[in-house]
Structure 1
């Protein structure tokens, strides 16, 4: 420390000599220090000061330009096979069909129950045809009128199956039945109510034999036919 003071004193004297020669100098003693404009050697670095507080975060910079598109990667392994899809428009249609099928099954069940009830009330079904008792008795003309009011015709069996159904009704009520055929227009030429010639017959032995007096047909409880007077009163059965 003593040597440093001597060295500073010598440097001060040298500085004063140089300044006096030029005619301009300014020197001031302050605690063994010298403050001379543009003179003297630089001092030593001072001790490192304390670390300052962290400043506020700056604003994010502007986004850089988009990079170059990379090359297409290699294809991955093939996935499992998916289930077969359905056309979108068919999905609601399929639901409607399923609903209709359910309604059809319900209607079929109701029809079966309805047929059972109708049988008890005096009706028979043969394929798509119905035979129903409309009146306990009546003449041929009365029977045609009664069935016509119900949108039907007098029962006219056109095959053995239909004849059997009518026979069962005759047995059930123990009555003969008026059939919807006659030869009123042409003697010996029995026709249906629509004018067509009979396609099926089941005459009893020796029938028909009544001539002009017996132009209508009755069905016995054994299923056989007999020509009889149209004014006779028989069970009225309509065919639908």
Structure 2
């Protein structure tokens, strides 16, 4: 059995059959690995994750070239619901919750797609509450009235109720306070370390992503332009300047990554 759980090869995608959002992106996620997908706004991160999760058609998008394989199977044309049942579960950008449902009701919806029994649901809730104690304290609260951080935890918890093998997260830190971001990434790292959960995380916040990821891939203009171990990319002061729209870096800090 291959140690590569997800393979994206030379992906290209458009919107409305005309607007090119991604032209050549390649990504690989090994079993038990955390991979960060980095890039500035418009680099193609969200489009890549939507393609991986089979959600592009819902955004009037199309895969025009390339191949996506999950667990050794070509899933380029597989429906999103089938991917979720197979263990590839997305968490969309923007803290998507059912605003009128309680936190716990939101979490339970994540187990419905896998036909979980009552005992399985209870066990799943206990695991999510252990990971995010704030949700346990607010489990009866209406999700739309909770804080942004709690809504993001709810969205992640709902995905975890689907028992993923690969969790695909789009900008989980967006709009959240640094302490909340830290708590969420630490929880994800714990899941990875204790349960071997693989993660593909698109992030504009390269600082936090590179601290928690094993490897990182940088996108620019719809193409993958750089990849390497996260610990090596953290040492490159030019990364933010060259690819993420940050301040200029010292000239001596542009060494290559093996």
The two structures have a TM-score, normalised by structure 2, of 0.20
Q: Which has the higher helix share?
A: 2
Give 1 or 2 for the bigger CA radius of gyration: 1
Q: Which has the higher strand share?
A: 2
The two structures have a TM-score, normalised by structure 1, of 0.21
